[in-house]
Structure 1
């Protein structure tokens, strides 16, 4: 199931998942297939361990999104600046979701890495618990004033990485997972 938000931003978060167990969310960004990768990376072992997938854009083509959806997990996705016109018209630029009482904003990002956290926060017109983004290809897992700012990095470079978010009892924490280049085919 693909969750698509509104084309403009609304602060009405879509509620996803309720219950007591720790929820695991795979976060991917900046795959850049086929522009910077010869293949779509095999993410099956990470997807199978997660309950939900967040994707923050720069798939480049819809084939990557189709691959993520093929695992029958909910996919929450926004488009990036390098995505093809189909993805830019199908996916929103930003959206919010609520997962187990945690309000989360997703946005690809823009501009330089300098002050990107404040730019990402300013995209949203309400207070969120976590801001998930990509664009810079630089992993970030940082609490700023009690809010999580999380960028999983890129899967298309020498220092490939992705992220996992863990939500439990209204709290969210992130983990950056570095990937070896021979596994990722780069």
Structure 2
């Protein structure tokens, strides 16, 4: 599965992410919020085209699990043919529970109730992360559109054993084994 966060309406960034989904044979796309709008604190990205981003994602609606970001709204839901307004979701990655959220309500400094060995997946900060902290795997794929902290645009990949943050150039930024704990 492929984790994409903070698209912010940028069509070229989404297209590159979808190319990686194909190359990696990803069955599912996990969208961690801030899908269509650039938001009032962000610059308008090159290639900004929210309606076309919605159309491209709708082509993959049956593959998508999405959560709402702080820049997502009911108007965005009107364009998208997949649910995107949940603040969080839970899923299994292997045998481990993964809590999926954008990161503006729950984040690495304000965690939901998680057991040791659980995985916390979030976006929002635009800073990639894949590491074990205090018995929990913290995973943030960064942003495909507006990376921060000097990082390249990035996304996440789960191969059944590892959660990897990789740049859109294919280089690994961070990686953690999910069965490590």
Shorter-chain TM range is 0.5 to 0.7
What is the TM-score normalised by the length of structure 1? 0.65
What is the match of residue 108 of structure 1?
102
Q: What is the root-mean-square deviation of aligned Cα atoms in Å?
A: 2.8
What is the match of residue 46 of structure 1?
20
- Matches for 1:8-157 after TM superposition, within 5 Å: 25-33=1-9, 37=10, 39=12, 41-42=14-15, 43-48=17-22, 49-60=25-36, 61=50, 64-71=53-60, 74-87=63-76, 90-110=84-104, 116-119=107-110, 121-122=111-112, 125-127=113-115, 129-157=118-146
**How many residues align structurally?**
143
Report whether the alignment pairs 1:162 with 2:152. no
Task: Answer with 129-138 or 73-82: which moved more.
Answer: 73-82
Secondary structure of 1:41 counterpart: helix
Would you say the 8 A contact 1:142–1:149 is kept in 2?
Answer: yes
1:103-142 deviations in Å (ceiling 9; x for gaps): 111110128xxx94131x23xx343621110000101111
Would you say the 8 A contact 1:79–1:87 is kept in 2?
Answer: no
Q: Is there any run of 5+ residues in structure 2 with no aligned partner, and where?
A: 37-49, 78-82, 170-181
How far residue 179 of structure 1 moved from its aligned partner, in angstroms, is 1.9
Would you say the 8 A contact 1:27–1:152 is kept in 2?
Answer: yes
Q: Is there any run of 5+ residues in structure 1 with no aligned partner, and where?
A: 1-24, 181-186
1:37-88 deviations in Å (ceiling 9; x for gaps): 3645313332222122111000025753552342465211101001132347
1:83-106 deviations in Å (ceiling 9; x for gaps): 132347852011111244221111
What is the TM-score normalised by the length of structure 2? 0.66
